[in-house]
Every structure is written in C-alpha cells, then in structure tokens.
Chain A
Amino acid sequence: MKDVFQAVQVTDHVYWVGAIDWDIRDFHGYTTPRGSTYNAYLILGDQIALLDTVKAPFMGEMMSRIASVVDPQKISVLISNHSELDHSGGLPAAVEAIRPGKVYASAVGVRTLQELFHGALEVLPLKDGDRLSLGNLNLTFLETRMLHWPDSMFSYLEEEALLFSQDAFGMHLASLDRFDDEMDPDVLKHEAATYFANILLPYAPLVTQLLARVGNLGLRLGIVAPDHGPIWRKDIPVILDAYGRWARQEPTRKAVVVYATMWHSTERMARALSEGLKAEGAEVRVMAMDHVHRSQVAYELLEAGALICGSPTLNNHLLPQMADVMTYLKGLKPRNLMGAAFGSYGWSGESVRQLNDILVEMKVEKVGEGIRVKHRPDAGVLADCYALGREIGERLRAKAAPAA
C-alpha cells in the first residue's frame, strides 16, 4: 500500500476521492457538531475527469485517494460544479499538479473562479444542457443557479444514472462510511434538514422548480452524489421527498420560542408561553440564545408554524444574541409562520417593538401586539403569556398539520 488514503468505488467508473474533516465545528457560522466531508469524484472513462476538489488544506488527502486508483497525470478534464472555496479551494493546486487539458464550470462559475483566483486558472464555460463526452461515458450539465450560489450546477453521468449534485442533498457529517445505507437514517434526516434550513431555505421556490425540472427531464437517478456527507444510493426518494416538503414550507403545529435573558424575567415569560402552547397541543421548542446556536434554531424552525421571540432591552436595543439570530433567520426567508414578541425591560423598553418590526419584515403573521413587562413578570403577566401561548396553539391547530 502506497498510502493510507484510498479511493472508494461508487459505480463501475466512478470513485469518491474526497476528504474527511472530523474537526470542523463552525462552517461559516453554521455549527457542525458532526464535522463534514468535502466530496470530490473521479470518473474513469476513456478520458478521466475529476469533479470538484476539496478545501485547500485537504488537498494532500484528495491527491492520495486519486493516486490509489489512477496516476493523477492521466486526468484530462476538471469540472467545477460549485465555486465556493470548500470545493474550489484546491482547484489551483489540482490544476498545477494534474495539468488537465480542460477545466470547466458554468458560465457564472467561470466568472466566480476568476474573482477568486484572478487569472490563475483558465476555465471554459458550460451552458445549461451542454453535453461532454469522455469517450465511452457522457456528462450532461444543468444550471442550478442560486442553489445555493449563482454559479452552482449539476453534472449527470448518463451511462451510470449518477447525479453529481454539489451542495444540494448534502449534509455536514464526517464519516468513514460513504453511503446512505451504511448510516443511521435518523442522523441523516436531522443533518440533511439542518443543511437545508441553513443553506437552501432562502431559495426554496427554486428548489421546487428544480425538482419539477429533474422530474420532467425523466433523469434516471440511480445514485445522487453530493459534495458533503453521504452518497445516496438507497433512500433517493426519501431525500427528494424531504426536499419537496421542506421547500413547500407547509407549517406544522410546532412552535419555536426563541429568547435571550439577563435576569431571567424574559425567560419566565418564555416558559409561561411554552406551557400555554403545549396546553393547546403544539409541539414546542424553547431555545435560549444564551445557550444554543443560531443554526440549531434554523433547523427547528424548518417544519414549524410559529416563531415566538423574546428579548429584554439592553442600552435601548435587543440583546445582541437575539439580534444575531433574528438577522440570520430573516435572511433564511422562512415562510408561512405566525408569531409574536415578548420581553422584560427596566425603563425605556425598545426590544419588543424592535422584535415586532423584524417579524413584520419577515412577513410573519403577528398574533397580538406582543407582551412587555417592566422588570419581573407577576402572576398576571405570566397568565397573559400563557394565554398568548394558548391562542397561538389554537390557531396552529386550526391551520397547520400535526408536527411530524
């Protein structure tokens, strides 16, 4: 054995040659407790192609895995499906080491790679629907703009019914297992949903269009190979269905109560609200931003029907950790939510109004004008919070499906 890092065979002609990042915990502000993988793929056709690379520090691992099946110098085509640095970071070094005849990306990808590497690479554009022959095998390309970057595209290997889907259908999950059927389905569901909620949700309408398009093209999907996490070879209908459902954003009877607190008054209000919600049969998550990460809130909100947010006032503003999560959630454009704001204050009390303004910008259907209390909530205020929770719970029951 030349090296410990080996390629993993996916189909007759395709090998996984990516890298495993066991240690990453913060992926541009998305918390990744299970690490991740950067998946690159080698197609051993008459001509040999490499699809995507890995994050720059992992290039040694990728090159070793390639060398375990083929002399890297024999690769003649490099294709970049997504120019974000977790997949393109290794591209200049790969081009240097491999000297392929051609490097391809989508037309927007050509521009993005230029903006990233400033002429260090010569990249040729592929249009939507273009085909590329590797001799005995053929690739077709589909632009998937804004899923999740303007340059993103899919590559489809016709003879092996294999879709290279870059970030779509992926997840952050480090593992030595490479295939969905080797892993715990509950973990896959959780991590795939977390990925969708944090990366793809802003473009949910485009996901719906893309799924329809893939359906209309009648592509046979024997394998779906994303750029992070497991390769789907068994539960392809499961992940496609889940994407369809998440993209529709149908609300369920789940309510997310997200808040932050200094002296626990806002926390008491959150607890009273949550009990009222539960009394009406809602499934409730209570998340204190003092302890949880914004990307976990995004996950919980994905299938929810209500967002209830609370903050005390600090120097005339929201607590910074609430501003953080609300800015983040607003950017993710969740739809079909109802909600309300609450919070304690000492003298000026701006936070509830600020939260209400954000809820309006987020197009959340507001239930009531919010609940504000000076200093500690007494039994009466807590009863108001409980009643607001019940009201939201009732409305959820009237309009939303039971939580999964």
Chain B
Amino acid sequence: MKSYECGVCGYVYDPAKGDPDNGIAPGVPFEDLPEGWTCPICGAEKDQFSPL
C-alpha cells in the first residue's frame, strides 16, 4: 500500500497507520478513504494528495 503526501502542507498519509484521530483505522488504503476525508493538518481535500 502506497503512502500519499498532501501537496499543501506535506502531511503523509501512511495506510499502515491510518488516521485514528479521524476514525480511520490502520490498514485503510488511501484510495479507500471516505469521500469528505480531508488532510488532518491543513484541511486540503483528497485530490491535493499525490503518491510517494
């Protein structure tokens, strides 16, 4: 599973870690993040992310 980086703030979504603070369990691939999930640091939408 690929990590994705936010093009606005540089936050890296690592599927192995998920985003537990926002209800995303470890193991969820970036592609499967729900619509409406945004960068936990700056609020940018999914389409601002690119694969590392």
A positions within 8 Å CB-CB of B: 108, 143, 145-146, 150, 203, 205-206, 363
Contacts of A206 in B (CB 8 A): 9, 41
Interface core residue of A143, A146, A363 (most chain B CB under 10 Å): A146
Note all chain A residues with C-beta closer than 8 A to B42: 146, 150
B27 at the interface (CB under 8 A from A): no
Residues of chain A within 8 A of B41, CB atoms compared: 146, 203, 205-206
Asked if B8 CB lies within 8 Å of chain A CBs, one says yes
Chain B positions within 8 Å of A, measured between CB atoms, are 8-10, 21, 41-42
The total number of A-B Cβ pairs within 8 Å is: 18
> In the assembled complex, which residues on chain B have CB atoms less than 8 Å from the CB atom of A108?
8
A145-B8, A146-B42, A206-B9 known; 14 other A-B pairs, CB under 8 Å? Answer: A108-B8, A143-B10, A145-B9, A145-B10, A146-B9, A146-B10, A146-B41, A150-B8, A150-B9, A150-B42, A203-B41, A205-B41, A206-B41, A363-B21
- Which residue from chain A places its CB closest to the CB of B8 in the assembled complex? A150
B38 to chain A, nearest CB (A): 13
Q: In whole angstroms, how far apart are the Cα atoms of A347 and B9 in the complex?
A: 47
Q: List 18 A-B contacts (CB under 8 A).
A: A108-B8, A143-B10, A145-B8, A145-B9, A145-B10, A146-B8, A146-B9, A146-B10, A146-B41, A146-B42, A150-B8, A150-B9, A150-B42, A203-B41, A205-B41, A206-B9, A206-B41, A363-B21
Q: Which residues of B contact A150 (CB under 8 A)?
A: 8-9, 42
Please, how many angstroms separate the alpha-carbon atoms of A65 and B14 in the complex? 49
Q: How far is the CA of A206 from the CA of B9 in the complex (A)?
A: 10
B41: nearest chain-A partner, CB-CB = A146
Identity of the chain A residue whose Cβ is nearest the Cβ of B22 in the assembled complex: A363
**Which residue of B is nearest A331, CB measured?**
B43
CA distance A146 to B11 in the complex (A): 10
Instruction: Kindly state the separation between the CA atoms of A205 and B10 in the bound complex, as whole angstroms.
Output: 13
- Bound CA span A140–B24, Å: 38
What are the residues of chain B within 8 A of A146 when measuring CB–CB? 8-10, 41-42
Contact residues in B for A145 (Cβ distance below 8 Å): 8-10
Complex Cα spacing A205 to B9, Å: 12
* Distance A146 CA – B8 CA, assembled complex (angstroms): 8
A134 to B31, alpha carbons, bound, how many Å? 46
B8 contact set on A, CB distance < 8 A: 108, 145-146, 150
